[in-house]
Amino acid sequence: MTESWSVDLADQLGIDGVTAVATLRAGLGGNELWRLSRPDGDLVVRAFPLGAPPYLAEREQQAHAFAADHGIDVPAVHSCQVLDGRSYLVMDHVPGERLADALWRGDDPDDLGRRSGATLAALHRITDPAPALIARRSWLDWPAAMPGLRPLLEPYDAGHVTLHLDFHPENLIVSSEGRIVVLDWANCVVGPPAADLARAGAILELILVAVPELTEIGRRAAERYRDGFLDGYREAGGDPSIPDPVRAWAYAGQRRDLAGSWVPPWYLDRLDQQCRELVDAQNIP
């Protein structure tokens, strides 16, 4: 068993038959992830930070159910529980590999990009109202309120759909059947599709300019993935255009989201500059 996992925790979560536990990569949100090997099917347990509001896990559970009900491939969530002040999601483990690993290994970046873009377009085609815990959260306030940008954004605050807002190769699984499975719905909000595209584009830009030791082969693969992503989104009926104020919002949000993380200070300065240039170009008195 891993240092943070215990048989007692498995019992409390109602999980039996665990034969092995492996720690999985987690994002910047302070969560922990474990894969539990079991004869009846492997599970993934996501543990939220101690003291985090329970609605964060409940919102992700709602997002998974909503996406699955509308044909988006996601891991099935079996339970959402709070134990000793910490929330846990128990979900299926999806056999396959992270799309990022497939991309860096040399799989066709154009194909991976097109299928990823088509998956995001499918999410944006869902017109049913978002679940309650997602609907209460607007893109305008992600990751925190930005009153300085809000007047520029309000003209684009229309056509609300459910947004993922963290759609990138590390959060996608290429399943053993070749399906694109979407993970990590922690950022989900409602808003215009352009906001999701702007955020996805900003993350891919981060990979291209700031990931340490990215090889030239890796850079070309990421660029081809980005181009394929936009092609796939367009071919699936999405509009890939992003208004400049929405792009500025994505840079400003990324700046706040990554502050204090592994990214170098020069990259945070770059985000500030990109946002400022896009805002200044609006010529607002």
- pLDDT recorded at residue 2: 52
Q: Rounded distance, CA 42 to CA 24, Å?
A: 13
Task: Reply yes or no: is the peptide bond before residue 155 cis, omega within 30 of 0.
Answer: no
The domain 7-92 is placed in CATH, from the list 3.30.200.20, 3.30.470.20, 3.40.640.10, 3.30.565.10, at 3.30.200.20
DSSP-derived letter for residue 121 is: H
Q: Whole-angstrom Cα distance, residue 235 to residue 226?
A: 14
Q: Cα(83)–Cα(177) distance, rounded to whole angstroms? A: 35
Q: 80 is written with which tokens?
A: 């959402």
Q: What angle do CA 260, 193, 267 make, to 5 degrees?
A: 25
Evaluate whether 100 touches 215 at the Cβ level (below 8 Å): no
Surface-to-core class of residue 206, CB atoms within 10 Å of its CB (0-12 exposed, 13-18 middle, 19+ buried)? middle
Q: What's residue 114's pLDDT? A: 98
d(CA 272, CA 144): 16
Mean pLDDT of 184-204: 97
* The Cα angle at residue 88 between residues 82 and 90, in degrees rounded to 5: 130
Least confident piece of the model among 14-18, 30-34, 43-47, 273-277: 30-34
Report pLDDT digits (tens) over 65-94.
999 999 999 999 999 999 999 999 999 999
Output the CA–CA distances (angstroms, integers) from residue 205 to 196, 211, 250, in the order listed: 14, 10, 11
CB burial class (10 A; 0-12, 13-18, 19+) of residue 111?
Answer: middle
Average pLDDT over every residue of 242-264 = 94
Classify residue 138 by its DSSP letter: B
Q: Report domain extents, the chain.
A: 7-92, 96-280
Q: What is the pLDDT of residues 161-193, one digit of tens each?
A: 999 999 999 999 999 999 999 999 999 999 999
Can you tell me the distance from the alpha carbon of 162 to that of 60, in angstroms, rounded to the nearest whole number? Answer: 12
Residues in Cβ contact with 63 at an 8 Å cutoff, skipping those fewer than 6 apart: 74, 131, 134, 162, 185, 188
Q: Can you give the pTM of this predicted structure? A: 0.95
* pLDDT tens sequence across 95-126: 999 999 999 999 999 999 999 999 999 999 99
Per-residue model confidence (pLDDT) at position 27 = 74
Q: Give the model confidence (pLDDT) of 38-53 as tens digits.
A: 999 999 999 999 999 9
Fold match flag (7-92 vs 96-280): no
Q: Looking at residues 254-281, what average pLDDT do you find?
A: 94
pLDDT band at 213 (very low <50, low <70, confident <90, very high): confident
Measure Cα distances from 256 to 149, 184, 251, 269 in Å. Answer: 14, 19, 9, 11
CATH 3.30.530.20 fits 96-280, yes or no: no
> Residue range 133-162: average pLDDT?
93
Amino acid at 191: G
What is the DSSP code string of 182-208?
Answer: E---TT-EEE-HHHHHHHHHHHHHHHH
With a CB cutoff of 8 Å and minimum separation 6, the contacts of 148 are none
Helix (H) or strand (E) holding 271: helix 265-280
At residue 220, the pLDDT reads 95
